[in-house]
Amino acid sequence: MPIDLAQFAIVLVAMALLVAAAGKWLTRVLTGAGHGAPERWTYRLLGVDPAETMSWKRYGMALLLSNAAMMLLGYVLLRVQGMLPFDALQRPAQTPDLAFNTAASFITNTNWQSYSGESSLSNFSQMAVITFLMMASAAAGIAGCAAFIRGLSRKDSHDIGNYWVDFTRVVYRVLLPVCLVLALVYVWQGMPQTLASAVSATTLEGLKQQILTGPVASLEAIKHIGTNGGGFFGMNAAHPFENPTPLTNTLHMLAMLLIPSALTYAFGSMLMRRRQGWAFLAAFLVMFVGFLAIVYHAEQQGNPLLTVAGADQQWSTLQSGGNMEGKELRFGIAQSSLFVAVTTAATTGSVNAMHDSLTPMGGLVPLALMMMNDVFGGVGVGFINLVSFAILTVFLVGMMIGRTPEFLGKKIEAREMKLVMLAVLAHPACILGFTALAAVWPATIASLNNSGPHGFSELLYAYTSGTANNGSAFSGLNANTPFFNTTIGLAMLLGRYFTLLPMLAVAGSLAAKKAMHEGPGTLPTATPLFTGLLVFVILVVGGLTFLPALALGPIIEHLSMLAGHSF
Amino acid sequence: MVDTSLSQHPRTRLSQGLLRPAVASAVLFMLVTGLAYPLATTGIAQLLFPSQARGSLVERGGHVVGSAVIGQDFREPAYFHPRPSATTGPDPANPDKSIDQPYNAALSGASNLGPTSQKLLAAVAARALAYRRENGLAAGTAVPVDAVTASASGLDPDISLANARLQIARVARTRGLSEQQLLTLVERETTPRQLGLLGEPRVNVLQLNLALDAATAHPAAAP
């Protein structure tokens, strides 16, 4: 369908146009010398010295402590929700394990939700807990990434920046202004932005319909700009109030891609290696387009079992056709498939279609993208993951051709490789370990919404999403049990900090090294050849690690579906 | 030689002076990003786009009949019917139990059934049978996929053009209007791709049914 391809193209072209502009802006924010007046007041209120230079350990400590304080504040507010204002519906406080899961989820930028937004949270909590933690985790992620890039770019230095300055500037100069403008565009398109909790309507057939409203647009803006993903409503960006038109859907996708792609540009600028930034962006794009093709094809082909049941899934000028279970008509197959790929590539976790109801190969795509965790990556962290794979590639290739592994003019030695391997291994260990535990834990069967291989996929998806800090779900799984709240909460924390902290250590360690001259023995890392190798390493490492688990879930299900089996 | 940061910053200094900024940052940024930002957005939005900001409510005769962007349930043969909805709601007889309640805008929901789920396939087959019966289609006719599958939100306001056309004969018969009149009405109420490119062409069921009521009440004004 040419018009579908045109929709894909327009999003990618718009993203490419935004990369340079947003990248330049981000570079200025992260490297500028001056402090604006609101920033100076903030530093005074916080009691910090903006001129302090931090080692990676102190930077990491500041990030951890302030995140911990924010998570605690969020937890407390959720626990006392019943006593707080702005809720005509009097929704009660969350239970302790649920509030822990929610606070951990939002401070780690995961936005996994064990609750349904509209039935569990008051408008006050949606603002003061959810919107706040979304801003904070996005800013912390960008700050962490900025420190990481500085570590790579500096020579003989123990200074990777000042956490408070990075965090404050990202909030004031990037997130708040962009979100305010975007939120207003969203309202124009039909998203509510009000403090009223609900409106009562009498339908044309005389039924009562209670329509829940709230400050939706302001939450949606940071949800996508910050690659957060938690919905105001249970059904997330599929809910017409969260995503009223195809235009808002397109803006959601561009917003999710904005900062992750701009970071590659900022990286190139801050290192004065523009080509390296573009080489990384190319690696992103190659994998992204490949996975998009798989999910679009699978969903447009539809489900042969539905045809047997009497559904017409053929594309025509009168309908998009395809597998429409769990999809919204205004988005059809094209805008839904693109959203599936974008939300898991950018580790946002916002969904405009129910991933649980995707065809098996369609559902494999978000799983695989999260398992690789670095196609675009979430705000900040995804980029860091990509660099860890780049270092791994340099190392593997260096071994193969007998060259000393070097990356960006620094020698890669045992210490860096150990840290990189810790970061690279923590991710699959966490996903597969917890999935295995859940598969044998007695009470988990009762939480599954589907049986057969699809039930296993629900478990695998939950821990993949948690560890990759994505937050989307095969949401048939009832994850609001103490076992799931706790284990997925832990997976989110491990997945976030066991990649972020080791890679900050790598940056600190590289920053302290002398720069080497690039000689004939250096493997250039800004070439198409290296981009190809990088993609190859990511696919091979990801494939070898996860293929057995994928075979038990989506792959068996695909074969069963073709053979006409149902469960 | 690699890890010299320790000697420069002894362990005792690592978190020194970080506790107060950590706590203060949590409170300050909660106030700025969690309250000031959404409240400012609310104020501006209510000023610039008051109708959308309140939920795009649709009124008829002074009463709110729904929201233009939220679907609602229609079962009478005289109205066009929306897509199946998987939302649930509390059982009026027993509030602890939840029962099927299509288009419950207080709790969005999807089936979340996978492609090989027998429950899904049985539901689709049953919906296809009912759709053929309601609209007088021959047994075994393939039914537009959106008419037999539940949407993602359970509140999908739209149906496909194919689905709307197949319902015309039934609605026309019940209302005593001509099929040609209804076809013109459906075409008038069709939302094209946004900007000629984005999304899918579709028909908003509530808007269509409102137009239908208006056309029936004043047949002279009907298309």
Distance from CA of A412 to the nearest CA of B (A): 11
Name residue B60's beta-bridge partners.
B63
Crossing angle of the two packed helices A2-31 and A332-345, in degrees rounded to 10: 30
Average pLDDT along chain A: 90
DSSP string, A330-355: TTHHHHHHHHHHHHHHTT----SS-G
A270: confidence class by pLDDT, cuts 50, 70, 90: confident
Tell whether B99 is within 8 A of chain A (Cβ).
no
Tell whether B144 is within 8 A of chain A (Cβ).
yes
Per 3-state DSSP, what percentage of chain B is helix, strand, and coil (rounded to 5)?
45, 10, 40
Distance from CA of A426 to the nearest CA of B (A): 22
For residue A181, the chain B residues in CB contact (below 8 A) are none
Considering only CA atoms, which of A403, A376, A407 is closest in space to residue A391?
A: A407
Strands B143-144 and A311-312: parallel
Q: What per-residue confidence (pLDDT) applies to A374?
A: 64
pLDDT over threshold 90, residue A366:
yes
For residue A78, what are its two tokens?
């959720």
pLDDT over threshold 70, residue A378:
no
Q: Report pLDDT digits (tens) over A64-88.
A: 999 999 999 999 999 998 888 777 7
- Cα separation, A274 vs B17, in Å, equals 37
DSSP string, B36-105: IHHHHHHHHHHHH-HHHHTT-EEEETTEEEEETTS-----STTS--------EEE-SS-TTSEEE-TT-T
CB contact under 8 A, B197 and A7: yes
Mean pLDDT value across residues A498-513: 84
- Cα separation, A226 vs A35, in Å, equals 23
For residue A242, what are its two tokens?
């969260």
Name residue B67's beta-bridge partners.
B57
B8: confidence class by pLDDT, cuts 50, 70, 90: very low
To probe the interface with B, which of A193, A250, A454 has the most B CB atoms within 10 Å? A193
Q: What is the CB-side half-sphere exposure of residue A352 using CA atoms within 13 A?
A: 33
B17: confidence class by pLDDT, cuts 50, 70, 90: confident
A residues 486-515 lying closer than 8 A (beta carbon) to B = 508-509, 512-513
To probe the interface with B, which of A204, A327, A337, A458 has the most B CB atoms within 10 Å? A204
Type of residue numbered A336:
S
For residue A447, what are its two tokens?
């939480």
What order of strands is seen across the sheet that includes strand B202-204? B158-159, B202-204, B190-191
- Cα separation, A123 vs A535, in Å, equals 43
Q: What per-residue confidence (pLDDT) applies to A443?
A: 83
- Cα separation, A348 vs B221, in Å, equals 49
Alpha helices per DSSP H over A302-413 = 304-308, 332-345, 360-372, 381-401
Mean pLDDT value across residues A467-487: 87
Q: Report pLDDT digits (tens) over B170-200.
A: 999 999 999 999 999 999 999 999 999 999 9
Considering only CA atoms, which of A225, A135, A75, A106 is closest in space to residue B30?
A: A135
Q: A226-235, A422-431, B126-135: which has the highest mean pLDDT? A: B126-135
Kindly provide the ipTM of the predicted complex, given to two decimals.
Answer: 0.91
Tell whether A414 is within 8 A of chain B (Cβ).
no
CB contact at 8 A, B222 and B183: no
Of the ranges A19-33, A358-372, A380-394, A427-441, which one carries the lowest mean pLDDT score?
A380-394
Q: What per-residue confidence (pLDDT) applies to A504?
A: 82
Q: What angle do CA A461, A484, A145 make, to 5 degrees?
A: 60
Tell whether A157 is within 8 A of chain B (Cβ).
no
pLDDT over threshold 70, residue A341:
yes
**What is the per-residue burial (b if ≥16 Cβ within 10 Å, else e) of A292-310?**
bebbbebbbbbbebbeebb
Considering only CA atoms, which of A478, A471, A431 is closest in space to residue A450?
A: A478
Q: How does DSSP classify residue A411?
A: E
Considering only alpha carbons, which residue of chain B is nearest residue A320?
B200
A127: confidence class by pLDDT, cuts 50, 70, 90: very high
The model carries a pTM of 0.92
